[in-house]
Structure 1
């Protein structure tokens, strides 16, 4: 159904976002919730964007774009600025707020002349719910977008993707995919755990695997874990960046959480990553090395699927701390306590290294302008980006000659 709020139409039970928040890599189709718009013969990109809404018992729904408006008010501080960002008139934005308040029979926003606009607790909770939804689903939807693009490309009898990448989600690999898409390179990618990426590379289900290994005392432990998939394979390692993992805590660190042992204190609520993720594996090994029982940490078994979702969970007040990367902590205005440093890299076989597609990857990583993009990510050091080394030279424990 279409309406004044959304001239492009929207799916029943959903609101359309003004623009997708997730990067668009593949093939113009746009899926919002359960709807698909516009398939053209020349595939360019697929974008899937989450949709959600709220309705009462009579089926009356929250006005389309009101959730976007509340998010923008929380970020800009005024209804006028929020309306400008979304391309709405001030009058229309105010009407959306009034309609939402009528549905809830409660205020969503407080406005005071000369002091801007402040969301009520209800309005703030809706805005944070939207952030959490996008943070949690983004990598999943990006992977699905790539899969859909491949299916459509096959139906249109277009050339298949030049490179298949399975990689642990991170912000450097995200920027790299954006760069390669901008360069016109067709890539089929899937975000997966580091273990799943390594297994896919071994089994020939991908051309390139991306994952991370800690630097320092935890390195041998991690290598022993990945050895089952990588030992003896003739692989080349392509560096992307060194990055920091640590504690994400509320601004000002009110609980005074400075070490992993502090997570076990009474009254501290923690949000973890999902089982099987490389970040959770690292955290579990760090806790074991420090003799901190995970059972003593409240919330340890609750896991989110992305670093951004962990940060949003903490920023919304649902947890006091999480463990993950620095960029989402800064994005959500959290404090960050560095705990570990790790190396993020790509692995591929020698025959793949010689392909034009992989050479395009190396060219991008070695581009000074792109390195500046990576260096702008908090906690990331891309000094070695694009460096190629035999895997067995970098990690002898993974060589076929290494003892069991």
Structure 2
């Protein structure tokens, strides 16, 4: 079994970060394999990465020797193709990236906060617990440019508000349907947690939640009731998340039994992890946001405005 090592690096103020928004942890082998797949040749991969042909070819050979597995089908006169093993490596990395994105983002925030104290004792820190969304990453970058560090901890919406009430953060980010009815499950869940006179609500962003499905929507899924079809494999979010709350509310309002949703008990901890399972063919549909669907090459069917 291969051993995994993690590392981090610093970039000078004002420099473009090395990390990719869709890939917070980078590995040089995965970058090489993806470039070969995208360009269909070693030379094309080298050009795309700004490296020499000799360097890319040598790196791939060294990786093959280290891993004891072939990575490229070396057929003279044919376009370079990844072996089945290399395809599985890329698939495994996408799965890991999707599942670990919230934890990686929190770890990144921890490192920045810790070193901010070392490099600039006057740097301000604002603890935030929030449901994960790409907009929060953009907000963190904007705040950092103004000497305000957002100590972001990603968790479910309900858990974020509880953290605020327990004094573990100064700001809680949560999402809810636009003006939910008072008797709704969402309203009944959030209302006891939000204190009039103690909390201030700040509207931050509007987004749609909906069905994330394979490209072309082969099963023709369009509504909440479609989740109960016998041939539909669903992947759920964990309890305490706003997305799980949204699902349960809509099933309840329509008189649909969660037990009739095939995969209701199969849970993932982020929109991206749900999308990754659908992209891998392990499920047909999940509830999430357009950004996560697009990031994994899926189609998106909007159902609810938040």
Sort the TM-score into its range (normalised by shorter chain): 0.7 to 0.9
Equivalent runs, 1:56-71 vs 2, <5 Å: 65-71=28-34
TM-score by length of 2: 0.81
Instruction: Kindly indicate whether residue 99 of structure 2 is the aligned counterpart of residue 136 of structure 1.
Output: yes
* Residues 173/65 of structure 1: CA separation in 2 closer, same or farther (3 Å cut): closer
* Residues 327/156 of structure 1: CA separation in 2 closer, same or farther (3 Å cut): closer
* Residues 111/129 of structure 1: CA separation in 2 closer, same or farther (3 Å cut): farther
Contact 1:128–1:312 (CA<8 Å) still a contact in 2? Answer: no
Match of 1:328 in 2: 292
Instruction: Kindly indicate whether residue 47 of structure 2 is the aligned counterpart of residue 84 of structure 1.
Output: yes
Instruction: Kindly indicate whether residue 247 of structure 2 is the aligned counterpart of residue 280 of structure 1.
Output: no
State how far apart, in whole Å, the 2-side matches of 1:243 and 1:257 are: 20
Instruction: Kindly indicate whether residue 245 of structure 2 is the aligned counterpart of residue 255 of structure 1.
Output: no
Contact 2:129–2:152 (CA<8 Å) still a contact in 1? Answer: yes
TM-score by length of 1: 0.63
Structure 2 portions without partners, runs of 5+: none
* Residues 217/235 of structure 1: CA separation in 2 closer, same or farther (3 Å cut): closer
Structure 1 portions without partners, runs of 5+: 1-11, 15-31, 52-63, 343-404
Contact 2:238–2:269 (CA<8 Å) still a contact in 1? Answer: yes
Equivalent runs, 1:218-367 vs 2, <5 Å: 220-342=184-306
Task: Tell me by how many angstroms 1:202 deviates.
Answer: 2.0
Instruction: Kindly indicate whether residue 173 of structure 2 is the aligned counterpart of residue 210 of structure 1.
Output: yes
Greater alpha carbon shift after TM alignment, 276-285 vs 116-125: 116-125
**Count of aligned pairs between the two proteins:** 295
Q: Which has the higher strand share?
A: 1
* Residues 124/240 of structure 1: CA separation in 2 closer, same or farther (3 Å cut): same
Match of 1:13 in 2: 3
Instruction: Kindly indicate whether residue 174 of structure 2 is the aligned counterpart of residue 174 of structure 1.
Output: no
Greater alpha carbon shift after TM alignment, 190-199 vs 266-275: 266-275
Deviation sequence 1:98-127 (CA, Å, 0-9, x none): 55556455565576857x444344332221
